[in-house]
């Protein structure tokens, strides 16, 4: 039960963080691309790579805290469903080059950021 509460709490904090990032991105940047989703997915990918490998290598934390930070916070921060909806809208609007670029860049950059996070975990 504690694990479920930890994931719930971390997920809520991650989702609110994503919402605040989206609000600020819309307020300060007038970009006709889904930049806020792209940004939170990049940030979340780095954080989960960092935390996952840090937890494996060096840290003795409670399983509930690990779940709160990875499954909860990173899961709440990142969003595959919004990413999918944005791609669907691009295809619907016949923005095929944008959609293809967004999909490829998202997967490649998020994978690289997870690897970067894993690499950085060695130094903390």
d(Cα 36, Cα 79) in Å, to the nearest integer? 10
Mean pLDDT of 14-29: 89
pLDDT tens, position by position, 44-93: 999 999 999 999 877 788 999 999 999 999 999 999 999 999 999 999 99
- For residue 32, what pLDDT band results from cuts at 50, 70 and 90? low
0.85 cut: is pTM over it?
Answer: yes
Quote the number of domains for the chain. 1
In this prediction, residue 66 carries a pLDDT of 94
**Cβ-contact 65, 6 below 8 angstroms:** yes
Mean pLDDT over the full length of the chain: 93
Domain that holds residue 12: 2-121
Say if residues 98 and 33 touch (Cβ distance below 8 Å): yes
């Amino acid at each position: 039960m504690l694990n479920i509460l930890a994931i719930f709490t971390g997920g809520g904090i991650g989702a609110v963080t994503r919402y605040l990032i989206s609000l600020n991105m819309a307020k300060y940047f007038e970009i006709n691309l889904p930049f806020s989703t792209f940004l939170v997915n990049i940030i979340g990918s780095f954080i989960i790579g960092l935390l996952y490998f840090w937890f494996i290598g060096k840290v003795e934390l409670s399983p509930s805290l690990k779940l709160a930070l990875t499954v909860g916070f990173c899961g709440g921060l990142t969003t595959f469903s919004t990413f999918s909806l944005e791609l669907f809208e691009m295809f619907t609007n016949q923005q095929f080059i944008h959609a293809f670029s967004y999909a490829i860049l998202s997967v490649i950059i998020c994978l690289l950021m997870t690897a970067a996070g894993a690499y950085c975990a060695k130094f903390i």
